[in-house]
C-alpha cells in the first residue's frame, strides 16, 4: 500500500450533493422522495406515478379496467414487490423453492448466438418456449412456467492477514417445468432487483461523456477496458444504460419492458398484452387481456407510463453522509489506491436535454462509468445480452449502498444478490477488476473498515 493521500475531489462535494439530494431521516422511504425543486404539477405526477408503481395489478377481465391485465404469466403483481421502497430486492434463501413471488428473476437466452449486438430488442428470442424470462406466477386457466429453488455453494477466501471470509454463489435447480424441457442452447442469468436511485440523472448523462471513458481495446493499457453498450431499440441503435448489462436505452424503455415482461402488461412500446408468452404457449397467448379502448387499446397507456417515468426519474438520490468525518477522506484514499474509481467513476453531470428541467446541468456522484466491464468467470451469465458478453456487466452505481438494509430489510449485493456484505461483493470482483480485488486482500483490518465506512457513506 502506498501512503494514504488525501484528495481534493470532495472539498466541494458537500455543496454539490447537499442541495440536490434528499436528507430524509433515512427511514425506509429514503429512496422515494421527489427531487427538491420540482414544480407542483410534477410533484402531483410523481405521487400518482408512485401509486401506480405500488399498486397491485389484477387479472382481466375485471370491473376496474384501470388496474387489470396482469399476466397471463408474470413475476410479481407490482413494481414495488421487487424494488422494495425503490430499494433492492433479495435472492431467495438457500433451498427455498420459488413460487412465493421473490424480488428476483431468471432471464433466459441462447448461449450460442450471433443475433444480439445488431438485433433489435424486439427480436431477442430467449428460450423458444419459455421466452426471455421465467415466469413463476399465472392467472386462472394458464399454467405458470414452473418452479425452481436456489442452493448456495460456499467457499472461503483467506485475506493476507489471515482473516477468513465466506463467499456464496447461487446454483439454480428447476423443480418443475410446465411447458416441457428447455432448449439445450438456453442459458440462464439470475437477477435480483436493483435499487432505483437517481435513475433520471443516469438517463441524462451526455452520451459523449460516457463514450469518452470507453476504452474497449484497452489502448491505454491500464488493464481496464470499459465498453459502451449499444442496443437496437425501435429500429435505432442507442447507448444502453439500464439493467445489469445496460441493455435498455432509457428509463422509459426500461419501465415499459418491466411492465411487459415482469407483470405481463401491454404498453405503447411493448404492445403485446400476453407479455412474455411465446408462440409455443398458445393457451397463454389466447388468454383474456385487459386492453381497453379508453387506454389507447393497451393495459398501461402513455399517460400512465408518463406518471411512472416521472416517479422513477424524479426520485432523489440520498445525500452523501459523513463528509466531515475525519476518516472519510482516508476511506476515499483507499478507494483510490485500489483503483476502484477506474470503473466506479465518482462524479457525473447531466446535460439539458431532459423533459424535466430540474435534471438539467446537475453534478452528482453515482460512482459508475455506465460502461460494461469483464468481471471474470465467477460472475458470468450463461448467455450474452445486447452488446454484453457473458462476463460483462455495467459498473454498479455505489450511491445509497449504506442505506440498503434500512430501505428493503435485507442486503444482497451484485447482480444476483449473492454477496451478503460489501466485502463479499468486492471479493467476487474478477476479470478487469482482479488487480483491485487482490489489492483489497492485502489491506489490514483498519484499512478495510475505513473503506467499508466510506462505501457506506455514499
Contact between 146 and 428 under an 8 Å Cβ cutoff? The reply is no
Rounded-to-integer distance, Cα 143 and Cα 21, Å: 45
Q: Which of 246, 372, 358 is nearest to 313 (CA)?
A: 358
Q: Across-strand partners of 58?
A: 68
Among 224, 273, 287, 450, binds ligand HEC (CB under 6 A): 224
Among 422, 427, 450, 458, binds ligand HEC (CB under 6 A): 422
CB of 131 to ligand HEC, least distance (A): 14
User: Is residue 278 part of the contact set for ligand HEC (CB under 6 A)?
Assistant: no
CB of 352 to ligand HEC, least distance (A): 22
Q: Across-strand partners of 413?
A: 419
User: Is residue 231 part of the contact set for ligand HEC (CB under 6 A)?
Assistant: no
User: Is residue 105 part of the contact set for ligand HEC (CB under 6 A)?
Assistant: yes
Q: Is 427 helix (H, G, I), strand (E, B) or coil?
A: helix
Q: Is 153 helix (H, G, I), strand (E, B) or coil?
A: strand
CB of 53 to ligand HEC, least distance (A): 6
Q: Which residues are within 8 A (CB) of 101 and not within 5 positions of it... i.e. 6 or more apart?
A: 75, 76, 77, 81, 136, 137
Measured in degrees and rounded to the nearest 5, phi and psi for residue 46 equal: -60, -50
Nearer to ligand HEC, 15 or 214 (CB): 214
User: Is residue 79 part of the contact set for ligand HEC (CB under 6 A)?
Assistant: yes
Which of these segments, 21-29, 39-47, 65-73, 409-417, binds ligand HEC (CB under 6 A)?
A: 409-417
User: Is residue 258 part of the contact set for ligand HEC (CB under 6 A)?
Assistant: yes
Q: Across-strand partners of 187?
A: 109
User: Is residue 379 part of the contact set for ligand HEC (CB under 6 A)?
Assistant: yes
User: Is residue 287 part of the contact set for ligand HEC (CB under 6 A)?
Assistant: no
Rounded-to-integer distance, Cα 189 and Cα 415, Å: 9
Q: Which of 179, 193, 191, 81 is nearest to 131 (CA)?
A: 179
Rounded-to-integer distance, Cα 275 and Cα 291, Å: 12
Looking at residue 30, the DSSP 8-state letter turns out to be: G
CB of 298 to ligand HEC, least distance (A): 13
User: Is residue 103 part of the contact set for ligand HEC (CB under 6 A)?
Assistant: yes
Among 167, 231, 359, 396, binds ligand HEC (CB under 6 A): 396
- Residue 171 zone, left/alpha/beta (φ > 0; ψ -120 to 50; rest): beta
Distance of CA 73 to the CA centre of its chain: 22
Q: What is the residue whose three cell numbers read 453534478?
A: 363
CB of 428 to ligand HEC, least distance (A): 7
CB of 296 to ligand HEC, least distance (A): 17
Residue 293 burial (CB < 10 Å; 0-12/13-18/19+)?
exposed
Helix axes 328-337, 445-456, angle to 10 degrees: 100
CB of 134 to ligand HEC, least distance (A): 10
- Among positions 106-165, residues that touch ligand HEC (CB under 6 A) are none
Among 137, 201, 284, 342, binds ligand HEC (CB under 6 A): 342
- Among positions 303-332, residues that touch ligand HEC (CB under 6 A) are 308, 312
Rounded-to-integer distance, Cα 115 and Cα 133, Å: 17
Nearer to ligand HEC, 42 or 255 (CB): 255
Nearer to ligand HEC, 121 or 284 (CB): 121
Rounded-to-integer distance, Cα 41 and Cα 33, Å: 15
User: Is residue 255 part of the contact set for ligand HEC (CB under 6 A)?
Assistant: yes
Q: What is the residue whose three cell numbers read 391485465?
A: 69
Which of these segments, 75-83, 109-117, 137-145, 348-356, binds ligand HEC (CB under 6 A)?
A: 75-83
User: Is residue 443 part of the contact set for ligand HEC (CB under 6 A)?
Assistant: no
Residue ranges in contact with ligand HEC by CB under 6 A: 53, 75-76, 79, 81-83, 103, 105, 191, 193-194, 196, 199, 224, 242-245, 247, 251, 254-255, 258-259, 262-263, 308, 312, 338-340, 342-344, 373, 375, 379, 393, 395-396, 398, 413-415, 422, 425-426, 429, 432-433, 436, 440, 455
Amino acid at each position: 500500500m502506498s501512503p494514504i493521500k488525501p484528495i481534493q475531489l470532495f472539498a466541494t462535494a458537500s455543496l454539490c450533493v447537499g442541495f440536490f439530494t434528499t436528507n430524509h431521516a433515512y427511514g425506509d422511504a429514503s429512496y422515494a422522495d421527489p427531487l427538491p425543486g420540482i414544480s407542483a404539477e410534477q410533484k402531483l405526477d410523481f405521487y400518482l406515478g408512485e401509486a401506480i408503481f405500488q399498486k397491485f395489478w389484477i387479472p382481466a377481465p375485471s370491473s376496474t379496467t384501470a388496474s387489470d391485465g396482469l399476466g397471463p404469466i408474470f413475476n410479481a403483481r407490482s413494481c414495488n414487490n421487487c424494488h422494495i421502497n425503490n430499494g433492492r430486492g433479495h435472492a431467495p434463501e438457500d433451498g427455498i423453492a420459488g413460487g412465493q413471488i421473490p424480488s428476483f428473476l431468471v432471464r433466459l437466452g441462447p448461449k450460442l448466438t450471433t443475433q444480439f449486438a445488431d438485433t433489435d430488442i424486439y427480436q431477442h428470442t430467449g428460450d423458444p418456449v419459455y421466452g426471455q424470462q421465467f415466469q413463476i406466477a399465472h392467472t386462472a386457466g394458464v399454467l405458470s412456467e414452473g418452479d425452481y429453488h436456489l442452493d448456495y455453494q460456499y467457499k472461503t477466501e483467506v485475506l493476507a492477514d489471515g482473516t477468513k471470509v465466506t463467499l456464496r454463489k447461487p446454483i439454480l435447480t428447476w423443480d418443475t417445468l410446465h411447458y416441457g424441457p428447455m432448449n439445450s442452447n438456453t442459458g440462464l442469468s439470475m437477477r435480483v432487483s436493483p435499487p432505483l436511485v437517481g435513475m433520471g440523472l443516469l438517463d441524462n448523462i451526455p452520451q459523449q461523456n460516457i463514450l469518452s471513458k470507453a476504452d474497449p481495446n484497452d489502448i491505454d493499457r491500464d488493464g481496464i477496458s470499459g465498453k459502451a453498450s449499444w442496443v437496437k431499440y425501435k429500429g435505432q441503435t442507442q447507448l444502453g444504460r439500464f439493467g445489469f448489462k445496460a441493455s435498455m436505452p432509457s428509463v422509459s424503455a426500461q419501465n415499459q419492458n418491466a411492465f411487459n415482461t415482469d407483470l405481463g402488461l401491454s404498453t405503447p412500446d411493448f404492445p403485446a398484452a400476453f407479455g412474455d408468452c411465446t408462440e409455443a404457449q398458445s393457451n397463454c397467448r389466447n388468454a383474456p387481456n385487459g386492453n381497453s379502448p379508453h387506454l389507447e387499446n393497451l393495459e398501461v397507456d402513455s399517460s400512465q407510463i408518463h406518471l411512472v417515468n416521472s416517479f422513477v426519474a424524479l426520485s432523489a438520490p440520498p445525500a452523501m453522509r459523513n463528509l466531515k468525518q475525519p476518516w472519510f477522506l482516508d476511506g476515499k484514499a483507499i478507494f483510490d489506491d485500489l483503483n476502484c474509481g477506474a470503473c466506479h467513476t465518482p462524479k457525473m453531470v447531466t446535460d439539458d436535454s431532459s423533459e424535466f428541467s430540474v435534471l438539467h446541468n446537475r453534478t452528482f456522484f453515482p460512482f459508475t462509468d455506465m460502461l460494461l466491464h469483464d468481471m471474470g468467470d465467477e460472475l458470468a451469465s450463461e448467455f450474452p445480452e445486447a452488446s454484453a458478453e457473458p462476463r460483462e456487466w455495467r459498473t454498479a452505481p455505489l450511491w445509497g449502498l449504506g442505506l440498503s438494509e434500512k430501505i428493503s430489510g435485507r442486503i444482497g449485493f451484485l447482480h444476483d444478490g449473492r454477496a451478503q456484505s460489501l466485502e463479499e461483493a468486492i471479493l467476487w470482483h474478477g476479470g478487469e477488476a482482479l488487480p483491485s480485488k487482490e489489492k483489497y486482500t492485502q489491506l489490514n483490518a483498519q484499512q478495510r473498515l475505513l473503506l467499508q465506512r466510506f462505501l457506506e457513506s455514499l
